[in-house]
Amino acid sequence: QSALTQPRSVSGSPGQSVTISCTGTSSDVGGYNYVSWYQQHPGKAPKLMIYDVGERPSGVPDRFSGSKSGNTASLTISGLQAEDEADYYCCSYAGSYTYVFGTGTEVTVL
């Protein structure tokens, strides 16, 4: 099972929007609506930000949104803030009760 493909890094100024892509195949991202996104600050455990493609857990700001088209899922951060600077990982159900993560994207707030 290959890791989902994410851009290595994205950046934006405070207040701007950034979008992170997560590309898989019809066997994972394209085949199920079980795409989730995780934020990880250095030295910390990941935190769930989006589940089931576009649902937000309680407590996650509505600046974070998710979507999917075909084999590519996306995470958009609107109104970028300094505290959003972190690594972000997508994850998808990949069938046969397995899960696959993305390669990870570093978000830099300029």
Partner 1 sequence: EVQLVESGGGLVNPGGSLRLSCAASGFTFSNAWMSWVRQAPGKGLEWIGRMKSKTDGGSTDYPAPVKGRFTISRDDSKNTLYLQMNSLKTEDTAVYYCITQGYSTSKGSFDYWGQGILVTVSS
Helix (H) or strand (E) holding 81: none
Binding residues for partner 1, total number by CB under 8 A = 29
The number of CA neighbours under 13 Å toward the Cβ of 70 is 5
Structure letter (DSSP) for residue 3: P
Among 57, 61, 70, 79, binds partner 1 (CB under 8 A): 57
* 26 is an interface residue for partner 1 by CB under 8 A: no
- In the bound state with partner 1, the residue whose beta carbon lies nearer, of 13 and 58, is 58
Among 3, 11, 17, 41, binds partner 1 (CB under 8 A): 3
Q: Please list every residue from 68 through 107 that binds partner 1, using CB under 8 A.
A: 89, 91, 93, 96-104
Structure letter (DSSP) for residue 33: S
Give the Cβ contact number of residue 81 at 10 Å. Answer: 12
